[in-house]
Chain A
C-alpha cells in the first residue's frame, strides 16, 4: 500500500526546458492537489482536481499546467522552466467531505538553473 507516490524525487532542469511531475495514489481518493513549498512561505496551492475530469487553478498557477489522467493520477507540467520555479513540489490527496485532511507524497525537489 504505497499511498501517494511522486516521481521523480529530484530533478535539475535548464531554463526553458520542460518536464512533467507525476503523482499517483492508490487510496481511491477523489481530490488531488499540487503545492509548492518555498522557505518562509509555507505551502502554496498551484492547481487542484476536486474529482476525476475536473481541474482548477490555485493560488500560483502561472507557468504550470495539470492533467487529471484518471482517478489515480494527477500530473503537473512545466512547459518552459524558469529559475523562479525552483522549489519542492508536493502532491496531496483528500478523500472527500468532512474532517479528512490531506495525505502527502514525499515531494519532488526541482532546481532550475
Chain B
C-alpha cells in the first residue's frame, strides 16, 4: 500500500520509556524521519535514520529499524511531561516526505 502507518495514541507514566511504532512502504533505500509537534506549533525534526542502518541513538532518543518488516520505532527514555506531543514518522520518497497520521503521546505525572 501507499500509507505510512502509526498507532494513534500512547499513554505512559513520567519516568517510564515510551515506544512509538511506525510501518513504512518503500523498499528502496531511503531516509526515515521522526518529527514532534507540540500544540499550536509546527513540526520539529527530532531525528532521522537511513534505511541501511539498524539503530541510531541521540541522547534520550533511540530509533530502531527492521528493514525486513519495514518497521520503525522511536524509543524515548525517561519520558517527561514536556514530551507530551504528537509524533510523526515520515518516509522520503523522491524529494517528498510522506507522513503517518501521528501518534499522540500523553505523559502522566
Interface positions of A (Cβ within 8 A of B): 4, 31, 33, 35, 40-43, 45, 48, 50, 58, 90, 92, 94, 97-99, 101-107
Q: Indicate if the CB atoms of A40 and B42 lie closer than 8 Å.
A: no
Q: A42-B88, A42-B102 are in contact. Are A99 and B96 (CB under 8 A)?
A: no
Partner of A101, one of B31, B41, B98, B102: B31
With A99-B48, A102-B43 as given contacts, are A40 and B101 in contact (CB-CB < 8 Å)? yes
Q: Is the CB of A31 within 8 A of B95?
A: yes
22 contacts between A and B (CB under 8 A): A4-B42, A33-B97, A35-B99, A40-B101, A41-B101, A42-B99, A42-B100, A42-B101, A42-B102, A43-B43, A43-B88, A45-B96, A90-B43, A99-B48, A99-B50, A101-B48, A101-B92, A101-B97, A102-B45, A104-B44, A106-B41, A106-B42
Contact yes or no, A50 B43, CB < 8 A: no
- B42, B43, B88, B95: the one contacting A94 at CB < 8 Å is B95
Question: Are A43 and B42 touching (Cβ within 8 A)?
Answer: no
Complex alpha-carbon distance, A103 and B100, angstroms = 17
